[in-house]
Each structure stands twice: as structure tokens, then as C-alpha cells.
């Protein structure tokens, strides 16, 4: 695949024909992409408009939330939508509820 980054078209997928692994990508219920083998590292956005990196997975880390979508044409315009809207809604609601729950304790202590 290709992507435009810093006004240049760049390859976005590197294929190795000499890879001797049975590993595969796992897309977690929290929207994280991690490799099935080795230590638990997730695809992580380091900064806006920069290539992604791999860092140790952290729960509720927005910079590790990966969504997969497809472009659809509606009324002559391209619209990007989640691959499965219902799954996306469920995932986003679960992430939001976990964030609210985990931050409730911190907020209660701050207000006490």
C-alpha cells in the first residue's frame, strides 16, 4: 500500500518473503494491534503526522487505539467509515466506560 506523508508518496507495507514465523496480528477488544509472538508491544502513534512505532501495550492508551476503516462513496464524496460500525460502537463505548471508571477514583480523591 501507499500513503502520503510530508507531501511524499511512501510505501506503507513491507513484505518479507524470508520471514520464518507463524506470527500474526491481534486486534484487541480495546482497539490495540499487537503481534502474537514476543513481548507485548502495540502499534503506537508517537506524534501527529509521523510514522507509528511499537511500544509496550498500555491499557486505555489512546495513542495505541487503532481503527480499521473503509472508504465509501456517498453523494459523490468519499466517506471513511469503520469496517464494522456496530463493533466500533461497542468498542468505543467499552473504552469510554473503562476510562470513566478508572478516572472516577482519581477525580474523587482530587475533589475530597
Rg (CA), the chain: 18
- For residue 89, pLDDT beyond 90: yes
Read off φ and ψ for residue 74, nearest 5 degrees.
-135, 125
| Residue 31, pLDDT score | 87
Q: What is the pLDDT of residues 42-85, one digit of tens each?
A: 999 887 777 788 899 998 888 998 888 888 888 998 888 998 99
Say how far residue 31 (Cα) sits from the centre of its chain: 5
Task: Report CA-CA distances (Å) from 103 to 32, 56, 107, 109.
Answer: 20, 21, 6, 10
Q: What is the pLDDT of residues 11-42, one digit of tens each?
A: 666 666 666 777 888 888 888 999 888 888 89
Amino acid at each position: 500500500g501507499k500513503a502520503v506523508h510530508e507531501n511524499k508518496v511512501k510505501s506503507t507495507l513491507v513484505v518479507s518473503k524470508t520471514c520464518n514465523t507463524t506470527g500474526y496480528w491481534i486486534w484487541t477488544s480495546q482497539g490495540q494491534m499487537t503481534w502474537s509472538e514476543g513481548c507485548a508491544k502495540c502499534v503506537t502513534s508517537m506524534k501527529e503526522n509521523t510514522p507509528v512505532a511499537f511500544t509496550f501495550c498500555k491499557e486505555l492508551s489512546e495513542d495505541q487505539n487503532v481503527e480499521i476503516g473503509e472508504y465509501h462513496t456517498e453523494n459523490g464524496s468519499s466517506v471513511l467509515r469503520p469496517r464494522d460500525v456496530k463493533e466500533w460502537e461497542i468498542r468505543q463505548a467499552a473504552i469510554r466506560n473503562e476510562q470513566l471508571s478508572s478516572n472516577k477514583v482519581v477525580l474523587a480523591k482530587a475533589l475530597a
